[in-house]
Structure 1
């Protein structure tokens, strides 16, 4: 079960953060490649430092708003029925747990950056972010809502993208000077956001594959062939998104290197080739 808005809202958050992560990673590398460090969040330059922590506020506030929607609005404040959690909204409660982890990450990062109460190194923040992605991975892998058929296939691909987010974030804590790992993290987050959108448009929007339809919150296909055709379409969609994001990354790097490239950038590349 799901909805267009239920996929589009988290998709927007992941997409915005992922695109910003990609650009910031590229900009920081071309500006000073020798001083490059992995960052689990990227400060916004300029504006006299007033927007420096904007990304963390987007993560914290966005996760909190989505958390309230899943925990309070979706079950219409009926959290308990006959003394137990409302069984009709277990998926909403599970989503709330995932969003709570991202809210905690954003809050901890803000406390670490803006106060002296919790001075955590960047590697520790990477591991906290990886924990939030792990919670998301476990949520979609062991979902109380049984994802079968075409819907299950779309969520399987989503789980693979979340796994890539986990791996790249943990690797960033272990290899804090690696530009490819930091870039991979931004790409994985961007792809996750795009795949949320793709799922929303395909399963709950105007792009439903022929022979499949939405019935009572579930995706039903008329035949095995229709379901297989929908899965093939999902493969093509994911390939197209990966290709598009890679083209965007290459274009961004070329633009950033031309506009903001450090004088050491070319010599560093030559030394690496040698």
Structure 2
């Protein structure tokens, strides 16, 4: 069983990075479509380069803080009981493994960008990102905490969104000049962040559907129709999230094209009109 804070914190990280990735991909493409390349991370311009690696620091610091919460605070340092891993905190150990993968990813990118010790090409960094998402996918798919009923349905939809992150990351390594693929990665990360928030507010917050209640760390729905209504509501929530993200992406493209658009972009728009 999770918690409200346990979903909001990673949701915030995915949402921030995802929105920034969408905007950066759009700006890079409209600025010069011919030189566009897929990037696993995006630099923050201005400030004399002092905030260039801000995205990577947000990922590494956020993952490290969440890792400490899961591994140190939530377990109360009781890692072993009778010589084996504490069965009461297996979900915390699993979450820690996922967060460790994202921390390693951000550290690898920082070492590749700022030092000469790990000069990795962009394609390799995309595959490392895909590995981190794979670890997250396996965590939620083979979770030691049995997700059933409405809780299980929300986590199933989350796994689908994580799968999109994996596919877009791998495709970015294989097709390094594809703007749709780079944009798809930003969209899938944004959707993952939104869905973490949606799960937090529905399952552990004030939006729990009528007929369902949180009791003894389990969500039960009576009668059965309440669970069905909750699942249908989840479908509508995911559809709404996709719609909002797509509309926001199109709006950001239009704004970026008008402000930073390359001559090729503007000429193609004038020809179509």
Aligned to 1:217: 217
Aligned to 2:157: 157
Aligned to 2:43: 43
1:268, CA displacement in angstroms? 5.4
Aligned to 2:133: 133
1:247, CA displacement in angstroms? 0.6
Q: Verify the 8 A CA contact 2:257 2:266 in the aligned structure 1.
A: no
RMSD between aligned alpha carbons? 1.2
Q: Is there any run of 5+ residues in structure 1 with no aligned partner, and where?
A: none
- CA–CA distance in structure 2, aligned partners of residues 187 and 117 of structure 1: 32
Query: How many residues are treated as equivalent by the alignment?
Result: 272
1:75, CA displacement in angstroms? 0.9
Higher mean C-alpha displacement, 221-230 vs 130-139:
221-230
Aligned to 2:181: 181
1:259, CA displacement in angstroms? 1.0
Aligned to 1:243: 243
1:94, CA displacement in angstroms? 0.2
Show CA shifts across 1:89-122 (max 9, x none): 1000000000000000000000000000100000
- CA–CA distance in structure 2, aligned partners of residues 43 and 150 of structure 1: 39
1:255, CA displacement in angstroms? 0.6
The question of 1:233 aligning with 2:236 is answered no
Higher mean C-alpha displacement, 9-18 vs 255-264:
255-264
Show CA shifts across 1:229-274 (max 9, x none): 0000000000000000001001101111111111121345689x8x
- CA–CA distance in structure 2, aligned partners of residues 235 and 219 of structure 1: 18
- CA–CA distance in structure 1, aligned partners of residues 170 and 93 of structure 2: 27
TM-score, normalized by length of structure 2? 0.98
Aligned to 2:25: 25
Aligned to 1:60: 60
TM-score, normalized by length of structure 1? 0.97
Q: Verify the 8 A CA contact 2:130 2:170 in the aligned structure 1.
A: yes
The question of 1:257 aligning with 2:262 is answered no
